[in-house]
Structure 1
Amino acid sequence: MVAVQLVATSMLMLGAGAGNLLSANRGRSPSTVTVSLRGGTTVTGNENTELSVKGESLQQLYSDYIQNRFLINRRYQRKLVWAVEEKQRLIDSALKKLPIPLILLAESQYEGNARLEVIDGLQRLDAIFSFIENKYPVDGKYFDLETLSDTKFLKDSSSLLQREPVWDRAACRDFTNYHLPVSTYRSASESSVDEVFRRINSSGRHLSLQEIRQAGSVAEIASLVRRVSAAIRGDASLTDYVNLQDMPKISITNKDLEYGIYDADIFWVKNGILSRDAVRESRDEELVLDLLLDLILRPLASSGTEYRNAAYSDERVSHSTSGLSVRARLLSMGRGEVERRFMETLDLITETLEVAGTPYSAWAVTQQNPRGIPRHFHALFVALEQLLHEENLVPKSKAELAQALKGFWDKDLSVPGGGNWGGNRKTALIESVKGALRKHFQPTTDEHALKLQEHALRFESTLRMALTEDALFELKQGFCLVNDPSRFDDNSFEKIMKISSAMANTRAGAKGVIFIGVADDTDDATSIQRLTGVESYKIDRFHVTGTQHELDKMRRSVDEHFRWLIERIKSSKLERRFADVLAGTLSPFRYRDYLLWKLEPTAMNSPVTHDGKFFVRSGPATAEVTGTGIVDLVRRFPSS
């Protein structure tokens, strides 16, 4: 009876999503359903999957959390967007013993370890664990870290800092003893997890229309929208899987906190194109989708809900934005090329607005109409993209372009309001925008400069991925000794080669990133400035120092150093087959006039060696593998 009551209560608290989840099984063989409280009853069916529902104390859930058992699949899972006030309301409910909706998990294997993938409840779990770790107060007071043995240990080891004033110890103990209903989906395939997530949210009560389109979609356009949108917001991750412990680092917050991304600093909000709430509801991804469709489809398609839906659908529809048409064009152009064009265009707008020193909405649209600003931006973006990539033009100067955009939309240009935006009307407006701006552009033949120009947003986004993926990231301040920029550091370079092999041994399909010219140590950045006069550019906790000062001291051009490095990689202690591939990924690029280099170690079909030895990454550390560990390493590569 207790178990049955728990199921009923849990499904009621889950709301419409539970109904959708239950309806998913109608007309199918009954699943094996295990329903239990500790000491409760168990009900089973006869399919391979299991769904267990039980009460878990917040203390037990936190213990699982610090052991990194919770995993987030960003292919379908929404970003962390709850405001501090929303988190505080949830904690207040637990403190007052009010019911909190069920958490839905799926058992999965990741990198050889059993993990719990969060299907529903990401925001709630983060709110609970963040409160326990003193990230924010409730009623002006913080959780007492002496309450739990886990938090006391982290406090004593200086991993957590106790903030004041503190909640009463008894209240904190009662809070951690609160039981949260948790449903665990066992023996679930990736496709079934995707389907459960979509059904839970298909009522639209929990997710926006764009989030439902994106949820679990494997379409090429969905992957591109995710990647580009996250790069712009700054919450990108190197892989689809992120530990729940790392998610707060890339969460979107409504206050300037010590962690996460302050929503007012996101490009769309900072420039008055979209509101904070719109970004939280993924309207930024909807706008990115519209822009991408206008980059890849010719003639321009209409914009609107039914056209966006069609782009994600596998069904044959008459819309020019049909999934089949979009997929064909993406394959033809190449996803990387489409992303490059998008980022290059957005970089141009960002750099131009930096010259203007004023947000887009105040600079280009002085007659304020917030609802129309996204379409103003849409038309300008597509016009600039076509000037850059279809007409092969570049601005005469950012200052001239900035002046041309001042009060641009106060001119006689008609921008339609809400509803569908017809392709013909859109095309006419974009042609008018190009006609007004073309005189501020000119042809370019400087192919070398274009080749070296990395997209600023893409670099910043990739760099921030280091916050959640230590094992597949490495930063080096340069190729030379810090105290002697004219002397190549052979030991450091060979260490980079060893790290590259370790990254390639992470798992099948793994791809790492190594940036040279970026320091994660303030002391190195300070020393470089003292010795060379090069002032670093700070991005989060990283310091961009560049390597141009080293080349100047060695009296080498970029091309000369590039060729020298290629041969140096090939003659390193790496096994030759991997060294040749790694050398092919070396690329110099410029970011804000800093010369940097990138290597992308990529896993092969079997483990690789450095100096005849196997190495792996454990977080940011590199360790040699010996004995039976080599057998486990080989098992990471099924085809080897």
Structure 2
Amino acid sequence: MNVEAKDLSIKGESIQTLYGSFLSKAFLVNRRYQRKLVWTVEEKRSFIDSIVNGYPVPLVLLAEVKTEKGRQLEIIDGMQRMNAIMSFIEQEFDIDGKFFDLDTMADTKLLKDKGEIIQKTEVLDRGLCANIVRYNVPLSVFQESGKSHIDEVFRRLNSGGRHLSKQELRQAGAVSKFASIVRKLSSNIRGDSSALDILDLNSMKNISITNKNLEYGICVSDIFWVKNNIISKEDLRQSKDEEVIADMVAWIALDKGLRSSSEILNQLYGYGDYDNKSTDAALSSQVELQIQKINEEIIISNIQLVFDKLIEVINISGKTFNSLLFDNQQAKIARYFQVVFLALYKLLIEENLDIIDRTKLIKHLDKAGDKTISLAAGGGNWSAKEKQTQINALCGVISDCFDKSQANDPARNQWITKFENILMQSSTEQTLYDFKVGLHSLAKEDNAFNQDAFSKIIKTLTAMANTLPKASGYCIIGVADNENTAKSHEKKYNLKYIKYSKFFVTGVNSEAEKYHTDIDKYFTKLSHLIKNEPISERDKDNISRNISIVNYFDKAVIVLKIESGDKPSVYQGKYFVRHGSNISEVAPENFSELFQRFQ
């Protein structure tokens, strides 16, 4: 590992000091290797109880890294513990029915006085709270010397398997195309994806997986795998969903059937003894070569398309995947899911077909786990022969529900999970996302198209493009930014919205039909208006190519997207940047710094 003693700093820091650093966003989380935020509220309470009782807690390991904001601290080990401390202070959970007293620290009192944190009741004794914030958390800080250095520290720290599951160890720090596909697809389907790999600890709670219906994060019961009784909550915490995705990606990428086993997964990741570099990497090399031939983004796109088709079918059936397949729900049905998914993949992607009769398909899938799919009991190895036989058998049964695809733009059909992830990513990277319920007033007396609002959208997109080089900014029309607006939309158009996490999807269907005849004419109008905006020809072309209508269940939404160019974007001869949800003009004295971002 080559970490010399002089590179290490071991000390204790009070919780009060740590919270001050937290407020200044000093703590970073690298999602390339760091596990999900998955501690339950009960686990957080247990950890705080240890602090209350003065018990020793495990050491938090940090790496001092250099960023554009200066020196920051990347959390290598202890993310769950750090989050538990910060979320307890910020009133997200209680201990013994009582909440942290915000008047205990100057920082929290100031936030309370400004209304940024609301004191919940009953309040914990202040003397006890003072003892908590004086508690010294043991920290070890080392100087990073490159990404591979931190990855190696992380792997060795967890190589005994005491902290992470086998799959989390396989994924931790893995930089292969195979690992990248598994990581992206898994987080997309769970809903905890982020636009960037590096997040500050403050943002992580917005995509944390919780066991309660909180105002933030993702309730574990709502995640696809758990909601459909395919994988248990505990297995999801152990990243069993990623094992299923890894199995399917390998099957799709490799042109020969591959059995499923823990050993095969290890080989696919080239994972073994990291002190012994002689691990057989033949299988990992094969899958990398095949992915390179097909293209990483195409594989992700195809798999996500099939997921979206399956989600639509399950939604129409009115059942969970488990109850659709079995007369009496079964435990551990991940293999049955793979058979169904890979059969759909074969028909939709490999044979370029489309579903023409969803009702009939649902009838074929009804009790298919009891009647059509026949799998040997038990776990362990799953032979390639059995997998292929069952996929072929199911394809034979359901093939009469498919016909040649007529879609000109397949991307229009794969937006369910992609759209949900845009919503969740906006929680951690607000600067690059904006939402509008529509471009016509919800007031009955005002039905005119709001040209100023549309121009502001375009101005906002140019500001997004200037925020980060190689950034992608989104504005989505058809999503309300709060429930009151969503209810106003519902009242005007008599159309129920869809709630996803803390977002309210209204769609623009009713607005388009009421004022523009249909959604296609509305789309055409917006496309033409882009050309009249005071922006560069490059940005007009980029936004025009990236505007699209996508369907989220029965809601049509319009997505406008901009990609940063090789120089800053201009609006009406001026440069703008975005901070959070606010736009500000770049002063001439700051032009140099703005242009340097694009060098």
Q: 2:214 aligns with which of 244, 257, 264?
A: 257
Q: Distance in 2 between matches of 1:485 and 1:115?
A: 50
Q: CA deviation at 1:127?
A: 0.8
- Equivalent in the alignment of 1:606: 567
C-alpha RMSD of the superposition? 2.4
**Counterpart of 2:57?**
100
Correspondences of 1:266-285 after superposition (within 5 Å): 266-285=223-242
Once the two structures are overlaid, the 10-residue window that deviates more, 615-624 or 598-607, is 598-607
Give the 5 Å matches for 1:490-529: 490-529=451-490
Does 2:359 correspond to 1:402?
no
Match in the other structure for 1:537: 498
The CA deviation at 1:524 is 3.4
Q: How does 1:452-463 map to 2 (within 5 A)?
A: 452-463=412-423
Instruction: Please tell me whether the aligned partners of residues 485 and 550 of structure 1 are also in contact (alpha carbons under 8 angstroms).
Output: no
| Deviation by residue 1:288-343 (Cα, 9 ceiling, x = unmatched) | 111222222222222112222222239998888x2232223223323232222222
1:344 and 2:305 equivalent? yes
Alpha-carbon distance change, 209 to 502 in structure 1, aligned in 2, over 3 angstroms: same
Asked if structure 2 preserves the Cα contact closer than 8 Å seen for 1:521 and 1:543, the reply is yes
Gaps of 5+ in 1: 1-23, 34-43, 45-49
The reply to whether residue 393 of structure 1 matches residue 353 of structure 2 is yes
What is the distance in 2 between the residues matched to 1:605 and 1:105?
A: 35
| Aligned mate of 1:129, from 64, 73, 86 | 86
What do the CA deviations read for 1:560-590 (whole angstroms, capped 9, x no partner)?
Answer: 5545434432331112223322222112222
User: Where do residues 168-179 of structure 1 align in structure 2 (5 Å cutoff)?
Assistant: 168-179=125-136
For the residues of structure 1 that align with 2:181 and 2:347, how far apart are their CA atoms? 22
Distance 1:182 1:438, change over 3 A: same
TM-score, normalization: structure 1? 0.87
**Which of 561, 568, 578 pairs up with 2:539?**
578
Contact preservation (8 Å) 2:14, 2:133 = yes
Which secondary structure state, in structure 2, belongs to the residue aligned with residue 362 of structure 1? Answer: helix
Distance in 1 between the 2:43 and 2:488 partners?
Answer: 44
| Corresponding residue number in structure 2 for 1:383 | 343
Q: Deviation at 1:205?
A: 1.0
Give the 3-state SS of the residue equivalent to 1:114 in structure 2. strand
Q: Which moved more, 1:627-636 or 1:124-133?
A: 627-636
2:134 and 2:265 map into 1 onto residues whose CA distance is: 46
Q: CA deviation at 1:446?
A: 3.3
In the TM superposition, residue 179 of structure 1 has moved relative to its aligned partner by 0.6
Is the contact made by 2:192 and 2:218 (CA closer than 8 Å) also made in structure 1? yes
Cα distance per residue 1:198-248 (max 9 Å; x no partner):
121121111111111111111112122111111211211111122211212
Q: Is the 8 A contact 1:472 1:513 kept in 2?
A: yes
User: What is the aligned partner in structure 2 of residue 294 from structure 1?
Assistant: 251
Tell me the distance in 2 between the aligned counterparts of 1:573 and 1:316: 60
From 374, 394, 398, the equivalent of 1:414 is 374
**Deviation at residue 119 of structure 1 after TM alignment:** 1.2
Give unpaired runs (5+ residues) of structure 2. 272-276
Paired amino acid for 1:336: E
Deviation at 1:613, TM superposition (A): 1.2
CA distance in 1, matches of 2:411, 2:202: 38
- Aligned position for 1:229: 186
Counterparts of 2:402 and 2:109, CA distance in 1: 64
Letter in 2 for 1:415: L
1:472 to 432, 445, 458: 432
Alignment of 1:199-218 (within 5 A): 199-218=156-175
2:99 pairs with one of 142, 157, 161 = 142
Q: Which deviates more from structure 2 when the two are superposed, residues 56-65 or residues 428-437?
A: 428-437
The change in CA–CA distance for 1:525 and 1:265 in structure 2 (over 3 A counts) is: closer
The structural deviation recorded for 1:606 is 2.5
How has the CA–CA distance of structure 1 residues 526 and 272 changed in structure 2, closer, same or farther, with 3 Å as cutoff? Answer: closer
Give a deviation string over 1:46-74, Cα, whole Å, max 9, x none. xxxx3222110000001111222211111
Structure 2 contact 231–241 (Cα < 8 Å) conserved: yes
Taking only the aligned residue pairs, the percentage that are identical comes to: 38
List aligned pairs for 1:41-52, cutoff 5 A: 44=6, 50-52=7-9
* 2:104 aligned counterpart, secondary structure: coil
CA distance in structure 2 between the aligned counterparts of 1:114 and 1:579, rounded to whole angstroms: 38
- Whether 1:74 aligns to 2:35 is no
d(CA) in 1 for partners of 2:485, 2:119: 31
Kept after mapping to 1: 8 A contact 2:305/2:413: no
Distance 1:515 1:156, change over 3 A: same
What is the aligned residue count?
592
Task: Report if the CA contact (8 A) 2:267-2:280 is conserved.
Answer: no
Tell me the CA shift for residue 390 of structure 1: 2.0
1:635 and 2:592 are equivalent in the alignment: no
Q: Is the 8 A contact 1:454 1:591 kept in 2?
A: no
Asked whether the equivalents of residues 351 and 398 of structure 1 are also in contact (C-alpha less than 8 Å), the reply is no
For 1:114 and 1:492, how far apart are their aligned partners in 2?
40
Q: Secondary structure at the match of 2:103?
A: coil
Q: Distance in 2 between matches of 1:119 and 1:309?
A: 23
Letter in structure 2 aligned against 1:393: L
Say if 2:290 is the partner of 1:323: no
Distance 1:502 1:402, change over 3 A: same
Deviations 1:255-293 (A, max 9, x none): 333332221221111222111110001111111111222
1:519 is aligned with what amino acid? A
- 8 Å CA contact 2:167, 2:242 repeated in 1: yes
Contact 1:485/1:553 (CA < 8 Å) preserved in 2?
A: no
Equivalent position of 2:41 in the other structure = 84
Q: 1:560 to 1:361 in 2, by over 3 A?
A: closer
Q: Which amino acid aligns with 2:181?
A: L
Q: Distance in 1 between matches of 2:122 and 2:525?
A: 59
Is residue 107–residue 115 contact of structure 1 (8 Å, CA) maintained in 2?
yes
Contact 2:205 2:217 in 1 (8 A): yes
The aligned amino acid for 2:555 is Y
Deviation at 1:448, TM superposition (A): 4.9
- 1-structure distance, mates of 2:97, 2:508: 48
Equivalent position amino acid for 2:308 in 1: D
Counterpart-to-counterpart distance in 1, 2:309 and 2:346: 13
State the one-letter code of the partner of 1:183: S
Q: Distance in 2 between matches of 1:455 and 1:554?
A: 25
User: What is the rounded CA distance, in whole Å, between the counterparts of 1:165 and 1:548 in structure 2?
Assistant: 46
Q: Distance in 2 between matches of 1:187 and 1:325?
A: 32
- Residue aligning to 2:69: 112
Match 2:316 to one of 342, 355, 378? 355
Per the alignment, residue 57 of structure 1 pairs with 14
Determine if contact 1:269/1:276 at 8 Å carries over to the other structure: yes
Separation (CA, whole Å) in 2 of partners of 1:442 and 1:76: 40
CA contact (8 A) 1:111 1:507 kept: no
- Determine if contact 1:494/1:573 at 8 Å carries over to the other structure: no
Partner SS for 1:584: helix
Q: Closer, same or farther in 2 for the Cα pair 1:532/1:271, shift >3 Å?
A: closer
SS of the aligned residue for 1:463 comes to helix
Distance 1:576 1:374 in 2: 50
Structure 2 match to 1:5: none
